Structure 1
Amino acid sequence: MGRGAIALARVAVIVRAPAGWLWWSGLAAAGIGVLVPGLTGRTIGVLAGAALCLVAACGVFAARRGRYTGLAAEASRAGKAVILQDRSVTLRVWRRAHRRWLLLAFVAAVGSSFALPAAGGLLMAGAALGLWAKASWLGRWERAHESLLWVRTESAGRGGAAGKDVRGYLTTGVAAGDAAPGGARGTGTPAAVRPTPAAAARR
């Protein structure tokens, strides 16, 4: 990294980072849980899990939305001395930093099936749906404003893209980076011939 350069990660990509893992491991935990009779029985466990899935999805989607909106409204344009972190790198860094917690969540979800079969796994799946919905909501903001939201990597390291250490967002044009609005995998220009951060920021 050059002198004075700032490393930036996409806000929406950070939001989406745990979603895929939570979804598939949640479904796996729910599948295992269905095989366990549990204290309440499978029917009650699955019904309770479905309710928890809905509550988790709505809760995760609504959490900190005001904080995201405020940071986005006050975002400033990224300068030339920025390095835009690739989507795959952002995902890998986040999951590596949180892999113990993710593993513990899976173990807890499977263990909870002895009380409420499948409920813990469906709760995790619901959290994943909420994260995808929030990333899509951010994507709609980015499309409406024709700007992509970025955050300094060191600021988002602990509390996430809207944590207390985050002082503000930066924006670039929609051609910057390798992820589409909302943080999904991009389908445009390959990374090898992508515009430089400075050129993309001016678009």
Structure 2
Amino acid sequence: MVRGGHGLARVAVVVRAGAAPLWWLGVLAAGIGVLVPGLTGRRIGVLAGAALFLVTAAVVAGTRRKRYGALARGAARAGKHDVLQDRGVTVRNWRRGHRWWLLLGFLAALGSAFAAPAAGGLLLAGAGAGLRAKAAWIGRLEHSEDALLWVRVDWLSQRGGAPTGKPAKAFRSTGVAAGDAAPGGGRRVAAGRV
């Protein structure tokens, strides 16, 4: 980066990047898994999976909220030489960095169907739903602060790529019009569209 600027990625986009692949891989694994009778039987497998879905979604959505809040409150304004990363680039980088974990999770969910049909897939889908809920919570935090939250890209490339991991010492903030993602990490809707 020129003159001491840093590449910055939206916090909500990083959190939300895993939601869609986890959800769809989980739904696919659950759909395939329900075709296998399994050791417990389909009914018990699906009921256990539903419970796992709810618990996993709640745990993932609630994890590290205090850390996100503390980093948001201490966020410094982004400098004029900082470069804001596009939403699509952030999502692509996260998914590329985690593709093997996603594949292993999908295979594990499929394999678990022989014990409890659909349970592993619903657990995976619950993680995706939890990430989506956490991104929505970050969006509400951004609305309340009237600022978008960003994290340095080089910190994301260390130790798993979490915005609140040990390398992430602080967030940066910009106005709500910055970047190409809306609060919460979704696509920004153009003003002329209905």
- TM-score bracket, shorter-length normalisation: over 0.9
SS in 1 for 2:49: helix
Alignment partner of 1:180 is 2:182: yes
The answer to whether the aligner puts 1:117 opposite 2:128 as a matched pair is no
Secondary structure, counterpart of 1:125 in structure 2: helix
Matching residue of 1:162: 164
**Counterpart of 2:163 in structure 1: which amino acid?**
A
Amino acid at match of 1:105: G
Contact 2:71 2:171 in 1 (8 A): yes
Structure 1 counterpart of 2:42 = 42
Task: Name the counterpart of 1:93.
Answer: 93
Distance across 2 between alignment mates of 1:7 and 1:107 = 34
Is the CA contact (8 Å cut-off) linking 1:19 and 1:129 kept in structure 2? yes
Residues 14 and 163 in structure 2, CA contact (< 8 A), matched pair in contact too? yes
In the TM superposition, residue 86 of structure 1 has moved relative to its aligned partner by 0.3
The Cα of 1:189 is off from its aligned counterpart by 6.7
Aligned pairs (5 A) from 1:1-203 = 1-157=1-157, 158-188=160-190
CA contact (8 A) 1:26 1:106 kept: yes
Q: Distance in 1 between matches of 2:110 and 2:93?
A: 26
Identical positions, percent: 62
Q: For residues 117-157 of structure 1, what are the alpha-carbon distances to aligned partners after superposition, in whole Å with 9 as ceiling and x for unaligned?
A: 00000001111111111100000011111100000001122
Shift of 1:3: 3.9
What is the count of residue pairs matched by the alignment?
190
Contact (CA 8 Å) 1:156, 1:162: kept in 2 or not? no
The whole-number CA distance in structure 2 between the counterparts of 1:186 and 1:159 is 24
Q: Which structure 1 residue ranges, 5 or more long, are not aligned?
A: 191-203
Separation in 1, partners of 2:32, 2:98: 23
Contact kept in structure 1, 2:5 and 2:79, CA below 8 Å:
no
Q: Distance in 1 between matches of 2:66 and 2:5?
A: 29
Unpaired runs of at least 5, structure 2:
none
Contact 2:139 2:184 in 1 (8 A): yes
Measure the CA separation in 2 of the matches of 1:94 and 1:131.
13
SS in 1 for 2:173: strand
- Aligned equivalents of 1:5, 1:78: Cα separation in 2: 9
Cα deviation for residue 165 of structure 1 reads 0.6
